[in-house]
Amino acid sequence: MSFADILGQDTPISVLKRSLAAGRLAHAYLFEGVEGCGKKTTALALIEAVFCGKGDGCGHCPSCRKISSMQHPDMHLIEPDGAFIKIDQIRSLQKELAYRPFEAPKKACIIDGAERLNQAAGNALLKTLEEPSGNALIILVTSQPSVVLPTILSRCQRLVFHGLPEETITSYLISKGVENESAHLSASLAGGSINNALEISKGEILSERKQLLTRLFGLSLTDIAPLFLAAEELAAEKEKAVAVLEVLMSFLRDMLLHSAGDTDMINTDLLPLLEEQGRTLSRARIMEKIEHVASTRTALLRNVNTRLALEVLFMRLAER
């Protein structure tokens, strides 16, 4: 995986390329941005370029092939063990970084989901960032920088990865065999994330979108059983739940635009439903519901109890 394979992130990649060329890479980076926009892929590309030593990485040498298969002995990947990244994982990483590299010019690690470092793990990592062992490259990846310890943020060079443009996601989906119409709609609902777009484009969410939205807007506090059932069913697949919230967010946004007479809407094929729901809600209530959906989406990405978060959201949606 080279920098050339990464979509829509020219600015952070340009910064990294200049640092590589000048031999002035930071020892610690924080890559921040929405899920599925290329942060982890860029981290792998950076390590490939450092280890390979041939420009952006040749992609063919033993070192590049080992990185591609996540088998390089000098590269380490830390991900949440359950809900959090734990102190034992960081201590194990610290031991590895203290050793001399086996093959590469330096050791490297990616901490994917840095917002999920628990307090003890975060404090342990802080010591490593302050006094790095040997010649190590540490890359933290997060979609929630506000949750990462401020002391960790201050010791990393931060690079912001923006959500991908709809056109870029559309082209990517089409290249993967998604039909044009589905690709355009999935990209518009994905919130700048290729991962979300892929989930939406699988067909179930798109084909059931009208039925799903009708069900959610039909929830009532006078009959609570369907509300809890909807939350239970959706909580069974967390990735799908996040994608559904993106669909719900776009529909509420379109309700707001429609109420203001704006025609720049995504869900134009659902205009009768937009009009029907728009008649029952004021702009202020639509804005409140948008805020509820947004905060629930953020909570799901922070690994809260999915079912409970959805139950609370659906109760708020059911309020008139």
Per-residue pLDDT of the chain (320 residues; tens, 9 = 90+): 678 888 889 999 999 999 988 888 999 999 999 888 899 999 999 999 999 877 778 888 889 899 989 999 999 999 988 778 999 999 999 999 888 899 989 999 999 999 989 889 999 999 888 876 668 899 999 988 988 989 999 999 999 999 898 899 999 999 988 888 788 888 888 888 888 888 888 767 777 788 888 888 888 888 889 899 999 988 888 778 887 888 898 889 888 888 888 777 778 778 888 888 888 888 888 999 999 998 898 888 776 888 999 999 999 988 87
Confidence (pLDDT) at 87: 93
Confidence (pLDDT) at 218: 87
The domain locations on the chain are: 3-161, 208-318
Confidence (pLDDT) at 121: 92
Is residue 299 a contact partner of residue 276, using CB atoms and an 8 Å limit? no
Is residue 125 a contact partner of residue 117, using CB atoms and an 8 Å limit? yes
The model carries a pTM of 0.76
Using DSSP, state whether 33 is helix, strand or coil. strand
Confidence (pLDDT) at 278: 82
How far apart (Å, rounded) are the C-alpha atoms in residues 148 and 155?
12
Is residue 277 a contact partner of residue 245, using CB atoms and an 8 Å limit? no
**Which residues 6+ apart lie within 8 Å of 283 measured at CB?**
256, 259, 260
Farthest CA pair distance, the chain: 67
**List of E strands, the chain:** 28-33, 75-78, 107-112, 136-142, 157-161
Confidence (pLDDT) at 203: 65
Q: Using CB atoms within 10 Å of the CB of residue 220, give its burial: 0 to 12 exposed, 13 to 18 middle, 19+ buried.
A: exposed
DSSP summary character for residue 154: T
The fold for domain 3-161 equals Rossmann fold (3.40.50)
Q: Which amino acid is at 96?
A: E
The answer to whether domain 208-318 has CATH 1.10.150 is no
How far apart (Å, rounded) are the C-alpha atoms in residues 281 and 317?
11
Confidence (pLDDT) at 134: 67
Confidence (pLDDT) at 135: 80
